[in-house]
Amino acid sequence: MTFEEYTQAVEKLNLYAYHYYVLDDPLTTDEVYDKLYHEVVGFEHNNKEKILKDSPTQRVGDVISSGFSKAKHLSRMWSLEDVFDADGLQKWLTKTYKLDTNISFYCEPKFDGASLNLIYKNGELFQGITRGDGVVGEDITQNVKTIRSIPLSIEHQKTIEIRGEVVIFKDEFDKINLERIKQGEAVFANPRNAAAGSLRQLDSSITAARNLVFLPYGVGVNELDHKLLSEKMEYIYSLGFKKPPQRARCKDYKEIQDIYEVMKSERESYPMMLDGMVVKVNEIAAQIDMGYTVKNPRFSVAYKFPAVEKITTLKDIVLQVGRTGAVTPVAIVEPTDIEGVVVERATLHNFDEIERKDIRIGDKVIILRSGDVIPKIIKVLTHERSGKEKKLSRPSVCPVCGSELLDEGVLLKCQNLKCEARVVNSIIYFASKPCLNIDGLGEKIVEQLYNADLVKSVLDLFDLSLEKLLRLEGFKEKKAHNLLRAIENAKGCEYWRFINALGIEHIGEVASKTLSEAFGERFLEVSKEEIIACEGIGEEMAESLLEFIRVNRESIIQLQEILHPKEPEQKAEAKENPFKGTTVVLTGTMSESRGAIKEMLESLGAKVSSSVSKKTNFLIYGEDAGSKYDKAESLGVKTLSEDEMRQLLREGS
Ligand code: IVH
């Protein structure tokens, strides 16, 4: 590799990374990236003096510091005044309009993470500094360099401070905590703590592993001459920074209120946590005129979302035994309204967690509810204890069947296959939506059937009769008929549902689909090698599957004979047509739903992707096509209107 080739390779890698980490729109595969990366590493190994500062190899976190030195921000980092409701916003506006009437606003999410100041000099990342007291923070440049959404170099040559929030995406947060539970470490209470903690690691390889994301929200020292903040921000994004999932220019109270409602209702669908929306006066000249109070800018306010954290009392801890035998503690709390939902239970993860946090019955605790996840206890208010709180000791026997528990540290397990809780829960699971989807067979009915000795295993479901059901309390003809019909309807289900319904540990919906497609009925006979060869199935899953088959072969076969699940069909090969084997992206409003058009194209053998890249063969657009269209044009991707697509199909077939 010559130096010139090396320079080009670095540029290419940075472009790939930008598309992957900033635009969420990969240009290539991991394999292509890795191959080029290794070539770059090879060159650098032999030419240490020629290593470019913005080479991706310079991001690897292998720097261990003994502590962080202090560093001064070039200009102060402020905080924000908070308002909590429409009334508060109205008051803030009145106050602000008194300073200037001729203003508009720029609104963006208030990200819940750790603030960070980036100083760029001569187009290169010079320093990354934590907020600290706003004047002086800690120099965490080494760690900051591992964050892939922070460019190491930018086109802007003059000195500039770019400020933003470092966050951890929600899915990444769950992954980290799961891993921590496995390692017996304390879990992070929320993504904000996780982000802040990860930024301040002395070993930068830990920071690197956490997949942090930087979202810019403003500038400090700068020589930009945009008249509007919104223009400034567009410029910052164009330098290679990530855009927020939502932003808007608003002219008045009503428009601010509208976009606030949008963000509030969409917040669960964003990958990162938000705790509100920030409203900023958009005109830079007005901002400068308005200036600052001792703490906050006058031109900006944080309009918070309703709290999802509340203080309540822990009334009891009950033990649940799942279908796999895992015993999990569940907190019963004083019913508390959090954003319109009354919370009465919260997860406690496991006993190690209870011991580590020293959670006692009677404690005042902070609970967090976010979206559809189960509420959890994030903190115990130990200073509020009266002394009457009771510790819960680690159970040694199953709370349901009384048999001795297997204590694996984090996991406590009831090993009795006949334990009522295990049986009942596996029947409930068997009937649930992603399994056989049997209507009317929920928790209460399953318990009733079990207690009446009518159903002691899933096989018994298929021996139910009208006569048997009518003996039960609450069962009249109609209800009994409906249940029998729903059970009957499960016959002939898709094969993956059958596999999923067996409730094999570690084998969920996705793996069931994979196994079903790969093996169908033959899945009872496959070897470990064959299983592991399937995409997304690892050793642990394969072993769990094989063990399950070994123990339950007879009942699986019996169940299969009753259910006759449908073997997956081999997809018929599409006839020759202009879209067969192509990659297509759809955008804009079409004459039918995009879902319907997607299905049609897929049946023709096309792959329908959600984002445009160089690999896209066609962009098919309807009315109001947006940025995907522009992108296709700029990449030279062929664009077709919906009519042109239909025309091509008529001609092609
Ligand atoms: S503007 C002029 N915009 O919230 C003051 N801050 O409570 C600078 N934050 O320390 C803040 N998202 O770390 C601003 N879109 C956003 C933000 C945001 C999160 C954080 C920031 C700041 C804190 C103030």
pLDDT digits (tens, 9 = 90+) for 327-361: 999 999 999 988 667 899 998 888 888 988 899 99
d(CA 186, CA 176): 11
Ligand 1 proximity of 192 Cβ (cutoff 6 Å): no
Instruction: Determine which helix (DSSP H) or strand (DSSP E) holds 545, and give its type and residue range.
Output: helix 539-563
43 CB neighbour count, 10 Å cutoff: 21
Domain-embedded: residue 398: no
Distance from the CA of 250 to the center of ligand 1, in angstroms?
A: 19
438 with 293, same domain: the answer is: no
Q: What are phi and psi of 190, to 5 degrees?
A: -160, 165
The CATH number of the domain where 627 resides is what?
3.40.50.10190
How is residue 388 written in tokens? 């009457």
d(CA 405, CA 550): 23
Check pLDDT > 90 for residue 589.
Answer: no
From the alpha carbon of 131, which atom of ligand 1 is closest? 10
Which residue among 75, 77, 79, 80 is best mutated to probe the pocket of ligand 1, counting the most ligand atoms within 8 A of its Cβ? Answer: 80
Ligand 1 proximity of 302 Cβ (cutoff 6 Å): yes
444 with 557, same domain: the answer is: no
Distance from the CA of 639 to the center of ligand 1, in angstroms?
A: 40
Ligand 1 proximity of 80 Cβ (cutoff 6 Å): yes
Domain-embedded: residue 292: yes
Domain-embedded: residue 454: yes
Ligand 1 proximity of 108 Cβ (cutoff 6 Å): yes
183 CB neighbour count, 10 Å cutoff: 8
Look at ligand 1, atom 15, and give the residue with the nearest C-alpha: 110
* Helices 191-199/170-182 angle, 10° precision: 80
Distance from the CA of 340 to the center of ligand 1, in angstroms?
A: 27
Domain-embedded: residue 226: yes
Q: What is the pTM of this model?
A: 0.57
Check pLDDT > 90 for residue 567.
Answer: no
Summarize pLDDT for 376-408 with one digit per residue, the tens: 888 899 999 999 999 988 999 999 999 999 998
User: Which stretches of 533-617 are assigned E, i.e. beta strand?
Assistant: 583-587, 607-609
* pLDDT for 370: 64
Q: Is 53 left (phi over 0), alpha (psi -120 to 50) or beta?
A: alpha
Residue with tokens 């599957």: 545
- Per-residue CA distances from 69 to 136, 202, 343, 589 (Å): 10, 11, 44, 54
- Asked if residue 125 lies in contact with residue 145, where contact means CB atoms within 8 angstroms, the answer is yes
Ligand 1 proximity of 111 Cβ (cutoff 6 Å): yes
Which residue among 115, 118, 300 is best mutated to probe the pocket of ligand 1, counting the most ligand atoms within 8 A of its Cβ? Answer: 115
Instruction: Determine which helix (DSSP H) or strand (DSSP E) holds 44, and give its type and residue range.
Output: helix 30-46
3-state secondary structure of 190: coil
609 with 473, same domain: the answer is: no
* pLDDT for 466: 95
298 with 334, same domain: the answer is: no
> Taking Cα atoms as reference points, which of 441, 354, 437 lies closest to residue 390?
354
Instruction: Determine which helix (DSSP H) or strand (DSSP E) holds 322, and give its type and residue range.
Output: none
Ligand 1 proximity of 297 Cβ (cutoff 6 Å): yes
d(CA 47, CA 45): 6
pLDDT bracket for residue 611 (50, 70, 90): confident
152 with 271, same domain: the answer is: yes
* pLDDT for 569: 73
From the alpha carbon of 82, which atom of ligand 1 is closest? 7
pLDDT bracket for residue 199 (50, 70, 90): very high
Q: How many C-alpha atoms does 606 have within 13 Å on its Cβ side? A: 25
Check pLDDT > 80 for residue 574.
Answer: no
Q: Which of 91, 110, 379, 468 is catalytic?
A: 110
Higher-pLDDT residue of 571, 32: 32
Which residue among 75, 79, 229, 295 is best mutated to probe the pocket of ligand 1, counting the most ligand atoms within 8 A of its Cβ? Answer: 79
Single out the residue in 459, 489, 519 at which a domain terminates.
489
85 with 205, same domain: the answer is: yes
Amino acid sitting at position 406: L
List beta partners, residue 164. Answer: 116, 216
Look at ligand 1, atom 12, and give the residue with the nearest C-alpha: 110
Q: Name the burial class of residue 166, with classes exposed (0-12), middle (13-18) and buried (19+) by CB atoms within 10 angstroms of its CB.
A: buried
Distance from the CA of 151 to the center of ligand 1, in angstroms?
A: 21
274 with 255, same domain: the answer is: yes
Domain-embedded: residue 636: yes
d(CA 368, CA 292): 34
Ligand 1 proximity of 78 Cβ (cutoff 6 Å): yes
- Asked if residue 177 lies in contact with residue 188, where contact means CB atoms within 8 angstroms, the answer is yes
Distance from the CA of 226 to the center of ligand 1, in angstroms?
A: 21
Q: How many C-alpha atoms does 347 have within 13 Å on its Cβ side? A: 10
Domain-embedded: residue 231: yes
534 with 424, same domain: the answer is: no
Q: Which domain holds residue 50?
A: 3-59
pLDDT bracket for residue 219 (50, 70, 90): very high
Look at ligand 1, atom 3, and give the residue with the nearest C-alpha: 217
Summarize pLDDT for 28-70 with one digit per residue, the tens: 888 899 999 999 999 999 999 999 999 999 987 677 778 899 9
Ligand 1 proximity of 165 Cβ (cutoff 6 Å): yes
Higher-pLDDT residue of 158, 351: 158
- Per-residue CA distances from 12 to 37, 52, 633 (Å): 10, 13, 20
**Angle at the Cα of 631 from the Cα atoms of 626 and 633, rounded to 5 degrees:** 105
Single out the residue in 284, 304, 324 at which a domain terminates.
304
Ligand 1 proximity of 218 Cβ (cutoff 6 Å): yes
* pLDDT for 652: 74
- Asked if residue 110 lies in contact with residue 277, where contact means CB atoms within 8 angstroms, the answer is yes
Secondary structure (DSSP) of 393-446: PPP-B-TTT-PBEEEETTEEEE--TT-HHHHHHHHHHHHSTTTT--TT--HHHH
Single out the residue in 243, 276, 304 at which a domain terminates.
304
From the alpha carbon of 302, which atom of ligand 1 is closest? 7
Domain-embedded: residue 402: no
The CATH number of the domain where 39 resides is what?
1.10.287.610
Check pLDDT > 80 for residue 234.
Answer: yes
3-state secondary structure of 508: coil
Give just the sign of the alpha carbon dihedral 590, 591, 594, 600: negative
Summarize pLDDT for 466-499 with one digit per residue, the tens: 999 999 999 999 999 999 999 999 999 999 999 9
Residue 110 known to be catalytic:
yes
- Per the structure, how many domains does the chain have? 6
Distance from the CA of 379 to the center of ligand 1, in angstroms?
A: 25
Summarize pLDDT for 113-156 with one digit per residue, the tens: 999 999 999 999 999 999 998 999 999 999 999 999 999 999 99
- Mean pLDDT, the chain, integer: 91
117 with 233, same domain: the answer is: yes
Instruction: Determine which helix (DSSP H) or strand (DSSP E) holds 279, and give its type and residue range.
Output: strand 274-281
Amino acid sitting at position 69: S
Secondary structure (DSSP) of 135-155: SEEEB-HHHHTT-TTS-SB-S
Look at ligand 1, atom 13, and give the residue with the nearest C-alpha: 115
The CATH number of the domain where 184 resides is what?
3.30.470.30
* pLDDT for 340: 67
Q: Which residues contact 557 (CB under 8 A, 6 or more apart)?
A: 524
- Asked if residue 463 lies in contact with residue 562, where contact means CB atoms within 8 angstroms, the answer is no
Distance of CA 516 to the CA centre of its chain: 27
Which residue among 129, 161, 217, 301 is best mutated to probe the pocket of ligand 1, counting the most ligand atoms within 8 A of its Cβ? Answer: 217
3-state secondary structure of 325: coil
Residue with tokens 């009145």: 94
Q: What is the mean pLDDT of residues 262-289?
A: 93
Domain-embedded: residue 577: no
246 with 120, same domain: the answer is: yes
* pLDDT for 632: 92
d(CA 364, CA 354): 14
Distance from the CA of 383 to the center of ligand 1, in angstroms?
A: 31
153 with 234, same domain: the answer is: yes
Distance from the CA of 79 to the center of ligand 1, in angstroms?
A: 6
The CATH number of the domain where 437 resides is what?
1.10.150.20
% pLDDT > 90, the chain: 68
233 with 84, same domain: the answer is: yes
- Asked if residue 498 lies in contact with residue 565, where contact means CB atoms within 8 angstroms, the answer is yes
